[in-house]
Structure 1
Amino acid sequence: MSKDNLLDALIEQTKLSKKQTDKQQKIVETAINMFAEKGYANTSTSEIAKAAGVAEGTIFRHYGTKDNLLLSVILPFLKEALPGMAENVFKEVVTENTLHFEDFLKGLFQNRIAFVMENKEIFQILVKELLYSEALRLELLPFFTEIVGKRVANMIDLFKERGEIMDLPTNAILKMVATLFGGYLVTTFVLTNNDDIDVEEETENLVRFVLEGIKK
């Protein structure tokens, strides 16, 4: 798996965690390893229970559902790892070749599309939970805004100062770009569940739409 695969990172994280009972630790480690090996959708709670040496009812008692089992690991991981992940992404995207806002958007969009494709099942679960859980939205969205949104806003300010972007409020530009790109990711990888795409072509179309709209 690639360096951007979240399940690989989760496996390493669960080995270091001391916040759960030995039984919970075994369940989580077994589940994440099986998700990585077989895929989330192809792994049942009964298989996890058997491999972990516990009753399936034990998993239901601690976590309720397979989604909740995965979320119980993902959410703490994201809160701990997101600042470092964001730093690495922007180091990859913002280089000496990032001369214009178009370059920044292309790098960011292409990077994140590839990342979501690599972690599609986790992305689908997070989107579903965010749609139905106000508590989760209140917990995660401000966190993402603080860690990721501020970095993008700084880039918008930079290119506004260079005269490449119209003089709209930075937050308004950020909201429109995030809405377009977030909507694209959800539509492509959740609603239509389509990953048979050309990342470079999709990126080019998105950037053209942001910069030029659809007016002929």
Structure 2
Amino acid sequence: MSEHFSIEELLRLTDEDVKMSEKQKKVVEAAIEIFADKGFAAASTSEIAKKAGVAEGTIFRHYQTKKDLLFAIVKPTITKFAAPFLVKNFIGEISKQKHEDPEQLMRFILENRYEFVKKNQPVVKILLQEVFFHEEFRGEIRKVIETHAMEKLKELIVFFQEKGEMVEMPPETVLRMIVTSIMGFLFARFILLPDLDWDDEEEKEYTIQFLLHGLMKK
């Protein structure tokens, strides 16, 4: 994968199912930038058309509503981009590593996902912003995670539990705590409060220490 997210790559993935004209590609590219910057609700089709350099009617020739345009961006992102890159390849990378203890595993997950979100920020931002408002997106993401990720991650948790190196809780609960802590940091860092004066290495270390030891002073 390239160093930074490529809008052309998303358009190529989308284009496998529906052949896009050059004008349609410009509309999708403009929509990605505006949705990521302002959010779906605050964006207008007139603004998207202006940025794309097309008449507003061009948008409605291809997409009946603004939500249809959002789906044209997000659904292929989830099913063709998120599935192979966000989850499937990630699980493959985890499987290749020899994680000697839970700390090493959690550091790998945090660093790997940090780099992914940093490189693919525009589309990840749209996903995270809109997933709360659209059940269709949540259903697609659940399907991707259940298909590609859940069992392998649970196996790793059980492995460390059987070695006596991880707390005895249901694997699903442990996984939820790891994921919500890491995703909470990434959401704050790149989506909610990106303009803060972040010390990324320090915040990553705080996140790991929280996962390892909780909040109680030893």
Q: TM-score range by the shorter chain?
A: 0.7 to 0.9
Matched residues in 2 for 1:172 and 1:2: separation? 34
Assess if the C-alpha contact under 8 Å between 1:8 and 1:36 holds in 2: no
Assess if the C-alpha contact under 8 Å between 2:78 and 2:141 holds in 1: no
Note closer, same or farther for the CA distance 1:140–1:87 as it changes in structure 2 (3 Å cut): closer
Matched residues in 2 for 1:174 and 1:89: separation? 15
1:87 aligns to what?
88
Task: Report how far residue 211 of structure 1 moved.
Answer: 0.9
1:26 aligns to what?
22
Letter of the structure 2 residue corresponding to residue 190 of structure 1: I
Query: What SS does structure 1 have at the residue aligned with 2:131?
Result: helix
Matches within 5 A, 1:33-52: 41=37, 44-50=47-53
Query: What SS does structure 1 have at the residue aligned with 2:153?
Result: helix
Matched residues in 1 for 2:156 and 2:195: separation? 30
Give the CA RMSD over aligned residues: 3.3
Matched residues in 2 for 1:11 and 1:3: separation? 17
Check if 1:11 corresponds to 2:11.
yes
Assess if the C-alpha contact under 8 Å between 1:113 and 1:199 holds in 2: no
2:124 aligns to what?
123
Q: Deviations over 1:100-137 (max 9, x none)?
A: 11111101111111211222222222122111123332
Query: What SS does structure 1 have at the residue aligned with 2:179?
Result: helix
Matched residues in 1 for 2:123 and 2:199: separation? 21
Unaligned segments of structure 1, at least 5 residues: none
Task: Report how far residue 74 of structure 1 moved.
Answer: 3.2
Letter of the structure 2 residue corresponding to residue 135 of structure 1: E
1:78 aligns to what?
78
1:166 aligns to what?
167
Note closer, same or farther for the CA distance 1:77–1:135 as it changes in structure 2 (3 Å cut): closer
- The answer to which structure, 1 or 2, has the higher relative contact order (CA under 8 A, 6+ apart) is 2
Unaligned segments of structure 2, at least 5 residues: none
More deviation, 171-180/134-143? 134-143
Structure 1 length-normalised TM: 0.77
Q: Deviations over 1:172-201 (max 9, x none)?
A: 111222222222222222222347644433
